[in-house]
Structure 1
Amino acid sequence: MKNTNTLTNTTEASKYTMSKERFAEVVSTFKAFVKDKNNHPTYDKQYGTKYAGKLNIKHYIVYAILRQKDTAKTSHDPIKSGAYLDSIAMFRKWAKEENAINAWYLSGITAPFGITEDELKDALSAYFE
């Protein structure tokens, strides 16, 4: 994994080729998704039950991958977190094209960013090189 300050320019160290304008658009789309309270978990007022929202750790991992940052910082305990480890394993397999991506599952990950499957695949391939 090669960390760089930004993924907006093509370099020899990375095959990732998202333009500055596109990168800024993706980041602003994701930030708007995060700010929307409808995407966060909700609580039942009577029983206190927590219901999952649309936002989860996979989104934060993809956000870190798009920025070429350390994905371990997205979890409180990346060594023991099952959700983190499962997500990283899934993204690594997608990058190496070992597993097919279900379209309905992929849309849940790409929609908050406004990116295409090809853009996600490029980012994953560059990150897991």
Structure 2
Amino acid sequence: MNKTYLILITVFFSSCQKSPDERIFGDWKVANNYYTADYKIERTERGITAKVMYYDDGTTILKATHSDQDIYIPSLHYKDGEYVDAVSGATQQTPSIRIKIRNTDSLDVTKYVMHKPIKEYWTRKID
């Protein structure tokens, strides 16, 4: 009888775990006064990662190499309604980046540079 309850409780708690919102996956574009960039957020064997596909700030241009060099955020983790950089979030009170899904085609992104927030608006890239 105790085994049955233990199995039911295990199944209940595992079904309650939040899975990532599928809307975060895809190709995203950001353009602001400082740079333009294309990012790809995808599920990999590491978890959820964000990669730089293109970046241009007027002095530096980066293009995807389709290798680990493209990784911008190695591990995003869903926490309290948003995605945070799991690596810095585990060691710092303020993660280096926070991503909140606005709707299917846009994200509100907050980066922290020297503990100061920089807000960006990413839109889904449609080719």
Larger helix proportion, structure 1 or 2? 1
The answer, yes or no, to whether TM exceeds 0.5 is: no
Query: Could you tell me the TM-score, scaled by structure 1's length?
Result: 0.27
Instruction: Select the structure that is richer in strand.
Output: 2
Q: Which structure: larger Rg? A: 2
Q: Provide the TM-score with structure 2 as the length reference.
A: 0.27
